[in-house]
Structures are given as structure tokens and as C-alpha cells.
Amino acid sequence: MNPEEKALLTTAFEALGPERLTRGLKAIGHRWKDCFLAIATYGEPDALVRQMRKEHFVGPLIGVPVQVVKEVVRLWDDDEQSFRALAAEWLELSRAATPTAPAATA
């Protein structure tokens, strides 16, 4: 995966956030009805497939340009192993960056 692909995926991961990204990684399909984005955005197969012009619907739904959506779909289909590895790395970094509650002072 090249740096540009990683940057586009990271943009999508940031827009989705940890919860939807984690949910999307449960996807096992590569069609619009059961792909990563379908599960990430709706949590269940078939919900996204009912939308017209899917890329143009998902982009505004998650807050990214259509180009990012197309790259997510392409990389999910063509290099799922690297996609999942980058997602796991992003989730770990996201968890590490989450601020913890301040210590109680007595």
C-alpha cells in the first residue's frame, strides 16, 4: 500500500471513528450489500445497497469526498489484508490518543 492510499484510508478511518471502523471490520463481503462500508455505516447487510449512487451517498454520510470512498472500496476489494492491518494500527493509535480522566485530587 503506497503513502497516498494510506492517507486516503486514514481520512476515511478518522471520519468513521473507532466504533464504525471496528464494526466495518466485521464485514466479510465485497459487494455493496455486505462490504466494509455497508457494515460500518449501517451495521447490517443490505441497508446500503438500497441507496442510489452509493459512492455519492456514503461520502456525505461519513464526511469524506467521493474519491476517498472509491479508494476505500478499491482497497477493501483488492488488498483486504493490508486494509485490515492499517485499520488495526489506526485503532490502536486512536485508543492510545484518547485522553484519560484526570486523577482525582484529595
Q: Are 34 and 45 in contact (CB under 8 A)?
A: yes
Query: What is the tens place of the pLDDT at every residue in 41-68?
Result: 888 777 666 554 566 777 888 888 888 8
What's the CA gap between 62 and 77, in Å, rounded? 19
Answer yes or no: is pLDDT of 101 > 80: no
pTM: 0.61
Among candidate residues 12, 81, 7, 5, the one with its CA nearest the CA of residue 41:
12
